[in-house]
Structure 1
Amino acid sequence: MSESYDVSYPGVRVWCRDESGSSSLVVWRSQWTPEVIRIETPTIYNRTVWTVGQARVLRDVLDAAVRCAGGGSW
Structure 2
Amino acid sequence: MPQRYDVSYPGVRVWCRDESGSSSLVVWRSQWTPEVIRIETPTVFNRTVWTVGQARVLRDVLDAAVRCAGGDAR
TM-score (norm 1): 0.59
Query: Rg bigger for which structure?
Result: 1
Deviations along 1:5-35, one digit per CA (max 9) or x if unpaired, are: 0000000000000010000000000000000
Pairs within 5 Å for 1:1-74: 1-44=1-44
**Structural RMSD (CA):** 2.1
Higher RCO, 1 or 2 (CA under 8 Å, sep at least 6)?
A: 2
Identity of aligned residues (%): 84
- Deviation above 2 Å: which 4+ runs of structure 1? none
* AA matched with 1:39: I
Structure number with higher strand proportion: 1
TM-score (norm 2): 0.59
Gaps in structure 2 of 5+ consecutive residues: 46-65
Distance in 1 (CA, whole Å) between partners of 2:29 and 2:41 is 15
CA shift at 1:44, angstroms?
Answer: 3.0
Structure 1: gaps of 5 or more residues: 46-51, 61-74
